[in-house]
Amino acid sequence: MAPKSSPTNILKIIRKHRARSDRSSISRSSVTRVDVLGALEARDDRNGREDEMPVDSQGGTYYPLGMFGTDQTIADRFSPTERIVVYQGDCLELLRHCPDELFKLVVTSPPYNIGKEYEKRLNLDLYLSQQEKIIRECVRILSPHGSICWQVGNYVHKGSIVPLDTVLYPIFSDLGLTMRNRIIWHFEHGLHCTKRFSGRYETISWFTKSDDYTFNLDPVRVPQKYPGKKHFKGPKAGQYSSNPLGKNPGDLWIIPNVKSNHVEKTDHPCQFPVELIERLILALTNEEDWVFDPFLGTATTIIAAILHQRRGAGSEIVPKYVSLSKRRIKDALTGQLRTRPMHRPVYDPIKSGNSLTRPPWKKEADEGIPLFQDTEISGRSTAG
Ligand SMILES: C[S@@+](CC[C@H](N)C(=O)[O-])C[C@H]1O[C@@H](n2cnc3c(N)ncnc32)[C@H](O)[C@@H]1O
């Protein structure tokens, strides 16, 4: 099935909304509706410059949007009547303008205090006290039925690691939140360490504000391992035992991180993959709910929100990432943003017949042996 965000589906949605809005005579939208159809059909507008976009009276930029059925503005400031807000500046400034208890989900990946280009390395206590101020505000704006997901890795100092989720946990629990899962996000690519095992996972700490929280399992179920399995005894003996909608994805998520070959890669050093946030948004919010990301980066959170008819707001302090965010949001709105689809199996180079999986130093010895049959790599069988 084509993903919801595929150009084909978006064209269908736009045509449906065009028919609907033709009946309801929406002002201002007719020219841009035609434009978006042209853009989608031609698919050649990927280099459109920000300064060529139409601008509204408050300085926001309008984008024609099939998904929501009307043209959209990327607003510079928060208002509950908006759908998409990208604030350029410090997250605490944006948070101060957000009302209490409006947001269903706050999801973010904060700076890890490891000296990336967008952060100043701080003493760990100072870093934690700054995080505490931001988390406190995020809890204030969170709906009583809402969730906070804080995605972090390790702080590293002189070769010693501090898993940030462990030191951040007391902040969330002291603010009265309840932890529901500590999700392990596993990926294959990253730095190769020489004095410890290379880090290949990070965590998402998921907290809720109350026991009455939104949790939709069905939209995020994954295929069953044994869909043909049946009950073998009891009153249901002989009937299929597994849920045909799929199984609970569990708390170990294997999702490729955004490195050089990833279809979503931009100039930002550490983007979320969109599919990671799509799963959280589908499970923890409903359509039309507000999602917030204080450390927006390249707007992955807002993009995942748009793809699933939610509203998104966030702040980013570095102007070049704000421009990048707006460009990506615009591409998402017009169906031109390429994202890795949810549920696509992780690339397996051996099954795919990638010739690089054959160790060159074994070439002669293996002559005559089929290339991808039960190859031994580093002493571990890769068969099956
Ligand atoms: C780990 S990155 C987030 C990347 C993001 N998840 C994405 O998918 O692109 C953290 C981002 O927070 C931004 N940032 C750092 N301090 C900030 C602050 N006080 N307010 C707003 N943004 C900030 C950085 O510039 C950086 O882009």
pLDDT at 46: 28
Residue 298 Cα: closest atom of ligand 1: 9
271 CB near ligand 1 (under 6 Å): yes
pLDDT at residue 244 in the model? 93
334 lines ligand 1 (CB under 6 A): no
Is the distance from the beta carbon of residue 257 to the nearest atom of ligand 1 less than 6 Å?
A: no
- Contact predicate 336/45, CB 8 Å: yes
Give how far the C-alpha of residue 370 lies from the chain's centroid of Cα atoms, to the nearest Å: 40
How many other CB atoms sit within 10 Å of the CB of residue 189?
Answer: 14
Q: Is the CB of 150 within 6 Å of ligand 1? A: no
Query: Does the beta carbon of 127 lie inside 6 Å of ligand 1?
Result: no
Mutational pocket test of ligand 1: of 155, 317, 320, 326, the residue with most ligand atoms within 8 Å of the beta carbon = 317
Res 260: pLDDT: 87
* Atom number in ligand 1 closest to CA 301: 8
Q: Whose CA is nearest to atom 7 of ligand 1?
A: 271
Residue nearest ligand 1's atom 24 by CA: 118
DSSP assignment of 291-339 equals EEESS-TTTHHHHHHHHTT-EEEEEESSHHHHHHHHHHHHHHHTT----
Query: From atom 12 of ligand 1, which residue's Cα is the shortest distance away?
Result: 295
pLDDT of 363 reads 62
Sheet holding 252-254, edge to edge: 61-63, 72-75, 84-88, 311-316, 290-293, 103-108, 142-152, 201-208, 178-186, 252-254
> Collapsing DSSP states into helix, strand and coil, what is residue 239?
coil
26 lines ligand 1 (CB under 6 A): no
| Residue 297, ligand 1, Cβ within 6 A | yes
Q: How far apart are CA 90 and CA 210, in angstroms?
A: 28
> How remote is the CA of residue 5 from the centroid of ligand 1, in Å?
25
* CA-to-CA separations, 219 to 42, 238, 247, in angstroms, rounded: 32, 27, 11
Strand, coil or helix: 164: helix
pLDDT of res. 182: 98
Tokens 């069905």 — which residue? Answer: 218
- The finding on whether 122 has its CB within 6 A of some atom of ligand 1 is no
Return all residues near 370 (Cβ < 8 A) that are at least 6 apart: none
Residue 147's contacts (CB-CB under 8 Å, 6 or more residues apart) are 104, 105, 106, 180, 206, 207, 208, 209, 213, 214, 280, 284
Q: Output the pTM of the full model.
A: 0.80
| Pocket-testing residue among 93, 112, 118, ligand 1, by greatest number of atoms within 8 A of Cβ | 118
Distance between Cα 201 and ligand 1 center (Å): 20
Render each residue's pLDDT in the chain as its tens digit; 384 residues: 344 444 444 334 334 433 433 333 222 222 222 233 333 333 223 223 333 344 444 445 666 555 555 678 999 999 999 999 999 999 999 999 999 999 999 999 999 776 777 677 778 999 999 999 999 999 999 999 999 999 999 999 889 999 999 999 999 999 999 999 999 999 999 999 999 999 999 999 999 999 999 999 999 999 999 999 999 999 999 999 999 999 999 999 999 999 988 999 999 999 999 999 999 999 999 999 999 999 999 999 999 999 999 999 999 999 999 999 999 999 999 999 999 999 898 998 898 999 888 888 876 555 555 554 444 333 333 332
